[in-house]
Amino acid sequence: MNKRSPLRNPAPQARGTAVQAPGHRRVSAEDGTDKASLTRILIDQAIAATHELLGLHQPADVALSAFFRAHRSGPKERAFIAETAYTVLRKLRTLTAWVGADATPRQLVLAALIRETGLSYRSLDAVLSKHDAEWLAQRKAQTEPVLSLAEQADFPDWLAERLSALMPAAELLALARALNQPAPLDLRVNLMRDTRPVVLAQLEKHGIAAKACPLAPEGVRLAGKPALSQYPLFLSGAIEVQDEGSQLLGHLLAPKRGEMVVDFCAGAGGKTLLLGALMRSTGRLYAFDVAEKRLAKLKPRLARSGLSNVHPVAIAHENDQRVKRLAGKCDRVLVDAPCSGLGTLRRNPDLKWRQTPQSVAELTVKQGNILAAAAKLLKPGGRLVYATCSLLPEENAHIVDAFLAAHPQFSRRAAGEVLAAQGITLELPGPDLQLAPHIHGTDGFYAAVLERAA
């Protein structure tokens, strides 16, 4: 952790499935919460929420949900509070450099409102205390600080150093800018329920601006962040929230009708549902996960999906007896491994402050063990896709390289060729799938296609 950060540093692990974080919209004078509705109480609530998130006691979205349960407010107020707190998490290093090493949550929020959200000093003067207004005026008069590369990127030093070894500074900053922006809202059309043209027409009919994703055949990208939980297409199971990059993983696995398939780290089941639809609800699809709570979230989604071939199974670990019973029997296995989640910073900006070199090292051990265990399920000629939402080679290609060195019966298949066979054109610099927000407009994803010799 860099010395300027006020954050503590527990070591979480991120799931491969991207989660839509709350808020995710820029707040400005033209927005729903403008200078006419901005109040000192609202700013104080944003400061209180930011204080909770900066403590890093739990994931930011969980902490924010708990905050809103304890502090009732309207939808516009929640949006302002959420995005203000998330802006501080995203831009923590540049804000701290401007405010000072002993920055408080209050100062960071005020700095974020001025420097990142487009609110003017004049609009804030009317609602700030005299002390806060004077402090902001003093900050405005100071010269701009000289920033290190890590500060410019709003990354911890260790992460900036590792990424600097992979790319030039200009590309690192382009990646950082993309990761420090809110993610768009992507949907996946459930082909068991509807088609993409029909869904796009329905969205347009209801005044929801949307377009087809450029890569994922079932993907739809919305222009805004409308509430979807009570929307007819969502309730009918015709659409699910899923990042476009995540959708491509299903097409790398490319399961066929009637096959036996395993989603080894299923989580809440977003990719499981995609695999089931690609299989046209035939064959047998196991959804394994060590967390029963995550699998429980799959149940209502599964009920909406119209799939009958999905079998959720809670396991104790990768060598659970329920896993071993499938050894050598499966046609395809997806391993969306627990990882640092550093490719999902658009949605989970707290992860860059919560992960450490030590936590990443611990994850790589787990990733290697999970991949080795999952590979045992494949029958000769079967396919395995190993994937993460990490940007770091030690979680990605290094894991695959070590596995292939120890398992000569497996070989790497070019991901671009697998996608091209399904009409998905994507130029890749190497054999594996590597997606990045500044290039592809998706979360950061990595995937390798491995096949067992027949």
CB contact at 8 A, 269 and 293: no
pLDDT at residue 13, rounded to an integer: 55
Torsion of CA 153, 158, 162, 165, to 10 degrees: 80
Residue 197 DSSP class: H
Residue 446 CA to residue 433 CA, distance in Å, equals 5
Measured CA distances, 453 to 55, 381, 412 (Å)? 49, 5, 11
In this prediction, residue 38 carries a pLDDT of 83
Q: Which of 213, 265, 330, 389 is catalytic?
A: 389
Of 264, 363, 379, nearest to 313 (Cα)? 264
Delimiting residues of CATH 3.30.70.1170 domain(s) in the chain: 185-241
- Is 389 considered catalytic here? yes
Q: How far is CA 194 from CA 226, 239, 423, in A?
A: 20, 9, 20
Buried b / exposed e over 291-324, threshold 16 CB at 10 Å, is eeebbeebeebbebbbbebbebebbeebeeeebe
Q: How far is CA 306 from the centre of its chain?
A: 26
Q: Look at the domain 244-452 and name its fold.
A: Rossmann fold (3.40.50)
Specify the pLDDT at position 5. 38
Phi and psi, residue 372, nearest 5°: -65, -40
Query: Which residue type, as a one-letter code, is found at position 410?
Result: F
Residue ranges for the chain with pLDDT beneath 50: 1-11, 15-36
What pLDDT, on a 0 to 100 scale, did the predictor assign at position 137? Answer: 87
- Give the pTM: 0.90
Per-residue confidence (pLDDT) for residue 121, from 0 to 100? 79
Return d(Cα 453, Cα 450) in angstroms, integer. Answer: 10
The residue assigned the tokens 């920055």 is 103
Distance of alpha carbon 404 from alpha carbon 280, whole angstroms: 32
In this structure, which topology does domain 185-241 adopt according to CATH?
Answer: Alpha-Beta Plaits (3.30.70)
Picking from 176, 182, 179, 213, the residue whose alpha carbon sits closest to that of residue 196 is 213
Q: Locate CATH 3.40.50.150 in the chain.
A: 244-452
SS3 assignment, position 340: coil
